[in-house]
Amino acid sequence: MSLPIVLITGQLLTDAVWQPLIDQWPGREVIIADNRTDDTIEGFAQRLLDNAPPKFVLVGHAMGGFVAFEVMRRAPDRVAKLALISTLASADGPAQTARRQGYIDLVENGQFDQVVEERIPILFPEDKRGDDRLLTVARTMAADTGADTFLAQQCAIMARIDSRPRLGEIAVPTLLIWGEKDGITSRAHHDEILEAIPGARLEVVPGVGHLPTVEAPEVVANLLSRFIDA
């Protein structure tokens, strides 16, 4: 019997980011963790654990990866396998903090709609920035998230700790998935995690940006399914 899969969604994203995968997993028990209620990574992680089955496969995307690291620190025995998509283990540096503060300034100036427009060049590869389907997905998820939830997520991300010192303690099978044209996380970020977690494996998805579950759902679903079922 397959273990339940718990999905943790990134910032300014909704359950829609996982739907293309869920559509390809009929019969699997899939739980999408709450990424809206808290304003700390610790709060998100504890809420996930409070509502998750005793044992599960954990899949985190972007900010969801930050939460996944906290889950692994709190309850490593409950996670059977770990998959991390488009994420990084370090805390923010000055450049990231400045970018996030710029987003906060937009929201506080009543320009929340502009936040997703600012992010499009780093969400999608250049040749996909005119793709109406992808742009509609990104804009709809942002609108459904809303300004207040976005600000809470920003607070959580900006206050997160550096997860790198304890990556070596992760002892479950771990898969990393990264789109080679991701404008937010880099190959170096993933190599850092890859080298620190014993036995971890990295899959690079060609021609894809920060949202591989939306841009290449069949590829990602196949990678995750093979990893989970192995």
Q: How far from chain centre, in Å, is Cα 91?
A: 15
Q: What average pLDDT does range 141-168 have in this prediction?
A: 96
Query: Which pLDDT value is given to residue 1?
Result: 61
In CATH terms, the fold of domain 5-92+154-229 is: Rossmann fold (3.40.50)
Domain ranges of the chain: 5-92+154-229
pLDDT of residue 125 exceeding 70, the answer is: yes
**pLDDT(66) > 80:** yes
11-48 pLDDT, tens digit per residue, is: 999 999 999 999 989 889 999 999 999 999 999 999 99
Does residue 96 carry a pLDDT above 90?
A: no
For residue 199, CA distances in Å to 76, 119, 171, 194 come to 16, 33, 8, 8
Neighbours of 114 (CB within 10 A): 13
pLDDT one-digit tens code per residue, 157-168: 999 999 999 999
69: pLDDT strictly greater than 90 = yes
Whole-prediction pTM? 0.96
Judge whether 71 and 162 are in contact, CB under 8 Å.
no
Task: Tell me the C-alpha to C-alpha distance, in Å, between residue 149 and each of 5, 19, 99, 107.
Answer: 24, 21, 18, 11
pLDDT at 95: 85
What is the pLDDT, as a whole number, of residue 97?
87
Q: How confident is the model at residue 99 (pLDDT cuts 50, 70, 90)?
A: confident
Note the pLDDT tens digit of each residue in 163-195: 999 999 999 999 999 999 999 999 999 999 999
Share the mean pLDDT of the chain.
95
Position 9 pLDDT exceeds 70: yes
Is the confidence at residue 139, as pLDDT, over 90? yes
Give the pLDDT confidence score for residue 130 in this predicted structure.
Answer: 94
